[in-house]
Amino acid sequence: MPFNKDDAGRWVPVFPRHELGTAFAAGVWNIGPGGGRFAPAMRPVLSLEETLAGLKDAGCTHVEFHDTEAESADAEKIMAAVNNAGLKVHMCTANLFKRGPEFANGNFGSPVAATRAESVRRTKDYIRTGIEVFGAQVYVYWMSSNGFGGPFQVNYKDLYQQTADGLSEVVSWMLSEYGPERALPIAIEPKPNEPVSWGAPADCGETLAVISLMPDELRPFVGTNLETCHSLMAGKRYAAELGLAAAAGKCFYVHLNGGTGLKFDEDLAFGDNDFGVAVESVHTLQEIGYDTVVGIDVQPLSTDTAAQQNASIARSVRNFRRAREVAARIDAAELNALRARADRAGLSELYARILSGVDG
């Protein structure tokens, strides 16, 4: 029952309920040999079965797939492997960035009509697989190649409107094919750049703006999948982006990880480098009532060995639970009293006290 009607008669997504910190999902791409333009491959390529076992061993209950990792034609076979590993598929997503040259110039908002049409076709195909084979609970549209790389490359008004139009075409097809009862919630994952120089949408605010460009009756079916490192790359406070998405009733999914600021997409483990971001993020997920599967989107560290293939995922799960323990030290009444009288010195004291566990 992905969508239900609320008391006001609006369609709202219904996600499987999991107490926060009891259900985690990661993608099969979160384990791998590593390597790239500036780093050596450090670990062997694993089979699907070894990868799924690695996710399970790291504390995952669910898995995520791109269509390039689990093609629709192989979905039944892959679903059997997922079942054998004791996992479920929570999220699926069409690869509109690395599948082929057709996406080198963008996807839904590309100035090239054939690219826009192919983006819609691939997305419909994988939503069908997500509903009919995987029993997925959310579909993610990471904007990936959508955006521009320099001046005059796109008509900016068209870029955002066509992105909304592509999503609208997908949602109206999905509703006509499956009805709201079987339709998959679509969560947009913004990112300010990489692989494109300027990403569209770049952050939570732009994502809500793109959703607002869709017809009223289609908007309830689209929300956000905010990623910690993407927010950091945009100079944003992750917890604040979660708050904005929740205020709009659009926090459909999350991708937790870590980073060190206005840098490249580091995909560090959740809680790496700045544990305070992890504590405030978990506390905010509690404040907004997030009670479903938590997504982890990390990469092994450049120095991780073959024995550490799933170390970043496992550390993210442990850090989530540590952050939940630390957040539990917060006395809500004290916190809200300090907020209500704008006592920032008191709030800074509280933050240091609960993070350090030292009263001082």
Binding site for Mg ion (CB under 5 A): 227, 255, 297
Distances (CA, A) of 29 to 67, 110, 195, 253: 12, 26, 16, 18
- The nearest distance, CB 18 to ligand 3MF, in angstroms, is 20
283 near ligand 3MF (CB under 6 A): no
Among 88, 116, 122, 191, interactor with ligand 3MF by CB under 6 A: 191
- The nearest distance, CB 228 to ligand 3MF, in angstroms, is 10
CA distance 253 to 290: 9
266 near ligand 3MF (CB under 6 A): no
Residues shown for the chain: 360
Binding residues among 319-358 for ligand 3MF as defined by CB under 6 A: none
What, of ligand 3MF, Mg ion, none, does residue 140 touch, CB below 5 to 8 Å by kind?
ligand 3MF
Provide the token pair at 89.
Answer: 């598929």
Quick one: angle between helices 275-287 and 344-356, nearest 10? Answer: 110
- Contact between 32 and 210 (Cβ < 8 Å): no
Burial of 96 (0-12, 13-18, 19+ CB in 10 A): buried
Q: Phi and psi for 180 in degrees, rounded to 5?
A: -60, -30
Buried b (16+ CB within 10 A) or exposed e, 58-67: bbbbbbbbbb
- Contact between 37 and 74 (Cβ < 8 Å): no
- The nearest distance, CB 7 to ligand 3MF, in angstroms, is 32
Among 118, 189, 241, 280, interactor with ligand 3MF by CB under 6 A: 189
Among 241, 265, 272, 280, interactor with ligand 3MF by CB under 6 A: 265
Is 41 or 80 the residue whose CB approaches ligand 3MF more closely?
A: 41
Is 180 or 195 the residue whose CB approaches Mg ion more closely?
A: 195
In single-letter form, the type of residue at position 338 comes to L
User: How do strand 147-148 and strand 198-199 relate by DSSP bridges?
Assistant: antiparallel
CA distance 250 to 194: 24
- Contact between 48 and 56 (Cβ < 8 Å): no
What, of Mg ion, ligand 3MF, none, does residue 265 touch, CB below 5 to 8 Å by kind?
ligand 3MF
- Contact between 167 and 222 (Cβ < 8 Å): yes
- Contact between 163 and 196 (Cβ < 8 Å): no
Is 66 or 219 the residue whose CB approaches ligand 3MF more closely?
A: 66
- The nearest distance, CB 227 to ligand 3MF, in angstroms, is 5
Diameter over CA atoms, the chain: 63
142 near ligand 3MF (CB under 6 A): yes
Binding residues among 54-93 for ligand 3MF as defined by CB under 6 A: 66, 93
241 near ligand 3MF (CB under 6 A): no
- The nearest distance, CB 98 to ligand 3MF, in angstroms, is 9
Q: Is 102 helix (H, G, I), strand (E, B) or coil?
A: helix
CA distance 263 to 108: 26
Over the window 146 to 185, marking each residue x when it contacts ligand 3MF by CB under 6 A and - when it does not, the resulting string is ----------------------------------------
**Residue number closest to ligand 3MF, CB atom:** 142
292 near ligand 3MF (CB under 6 A): no
Binding residues among 5-24 for ligand 3MF as defined by CB under 6 A: none
- The nearest distance, CB 123 to Mg ion, in angstroms, is 17
Among 297, 298, 313, 314, interactor with ligand 3MF by CB under 6 A: 297
Q: Is 159 helix (H, G, I), strand (E, B) or coil?
A: helix
Binding residues (CB under 6 A) for ligand 3MF: these are 29, 66, 93, 140, 142, 189, 191, 227, 255, 265, 297
